[in-house]
C-alpha cells in the first residue's frame, strides 16, 4: 500500500486509517500565522457511511487504499444475499444487503452495477444516476383528476415506494433518481 503525505490529498481519494477505509470528502490546507501548518479533512467511512472530521499535521504520512471498480451483473437473490457475476471472469459472488445499503432498492435481475472492491471484499456499489423500473402496484388514476403537481404512492418491482404523478398506471416503466429516490419521468 503506498504511503502519501497529507499534502497530496485530493477529494475522492480513499485512505486506510486505523484498519478502516475512509474516502476524502473535503480537505483544506491551513497555514496559521503562528504555529505549524495543518490539513483539516472531512472523511466518510466507506463501510459504515459515517462522516468524521479529522485534522492532520501538514506532511503527515497516511496510507492510500486503492479501490477496484468491477462491472458486475446482478443475477438473483439467494436467501438474503444478492448474487453478482463478474462480467469478465464469470465468477459469482454473494453480497450481503448491508454492504449494498440503499442500492438494493434499485437492483433488478440482469442489471449491471459497479461494485467497489478492496482486495476481495465488496465495500460498496456505484449505481448509475437513474434507473428504469416497472410500477408493481399503485392506485388507478381517476378520469378528470389531473391536479397540477398532485402525487400518489407507487410500489416499484424492487419494493421501493416512490411518489409519482396521478396519471402513472400500474405496469408502466418509470425513471427513478438513484441518489434521491425520486420519480424523474415516464419511460
> Which pLDDT tens digit goes with each residue over 149-173?
778 889 998 888 998 888 888 898 9
Full-model pTM? 0.71
Alpha-carbon span 25 to 10, nearest angstrom: 9
∠ Cα 7 9 12 (to 5°): 170
The three grid cell numbers given for residue 103, joined into one nine-digit string: 442500492
- Domains of the chain, start order: 3-64 (2.30.30.30), 68-126 (2.40.50.140), 130-186 (2.40.50.140)
What's the whole-number average pLDDT of the chain?
86
Judge contact between 96 and 47, C-beta under 8 A. no
Whether 142 shows a pLDDT value over 70: the answer reads: no
Phi, psi (5° rounding) for residue 103? -65, -25
pLDDT of residue 33: 87
Work out the burial of residue 147: count CB atoms within 10 Å of its CB; fewer than 13 is exposed, 13-18 middle, 19 or more buried. exposed
Amino acid at each position: 500500500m503506498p504511503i502519501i503525505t497529507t499534502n497530496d490529498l485530493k477529494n475522492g481519494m480513499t485512505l486506510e486509517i486505523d484498519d478502516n477505509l475512509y474516502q476524502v470528502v473535503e480537505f483544506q490546507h491551513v497555514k496559521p500565522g503562528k504555529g505549524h501548518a495543518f490539513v483539516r479533512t472531512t472523511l466518510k467511512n466507506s463501510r459504515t457511511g459515517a462522516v468524521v472530521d479529522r485534522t492532520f499535521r501538514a506532511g503527515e504520512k497516511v496510507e492510500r487504499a486503492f479501490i477496484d471498480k468491477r462491472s458486475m451483473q446482478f443475477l438473483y437473490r439467494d436467501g438474503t444475499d444478492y448474487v453478482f457475476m463478474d462480467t469478465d471472469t464469470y465468477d459469482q459472488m454473494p453480497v450481503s444487503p448491508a454492504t449494498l445499503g440503499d442500492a438494493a432498492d434499485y437492483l433488478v435481475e440482469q442489471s449491471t452495477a459497479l461494485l467497489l472492491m478492496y482486495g476481495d471484499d465488496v465495500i460498496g456499489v456505484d449505481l448509475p444516476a437513474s434507473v428504469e423500473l416497472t410500477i408493481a402496484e399503485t392506485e388507478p388514476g381517476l378520469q378528470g383528476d389531473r391536479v397540477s403537481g398532485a402525487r400518489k404512492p407507487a410500489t416499484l418491482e424492487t419494493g421501493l415506494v416512490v411518489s409519482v404523478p396521478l396519471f402513472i398506471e400500474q405496469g408502466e416503466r418509470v425513471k427513478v433518481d438513484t441518489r434521491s429516490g425520486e420519480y424523474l419521468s415516464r419511460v
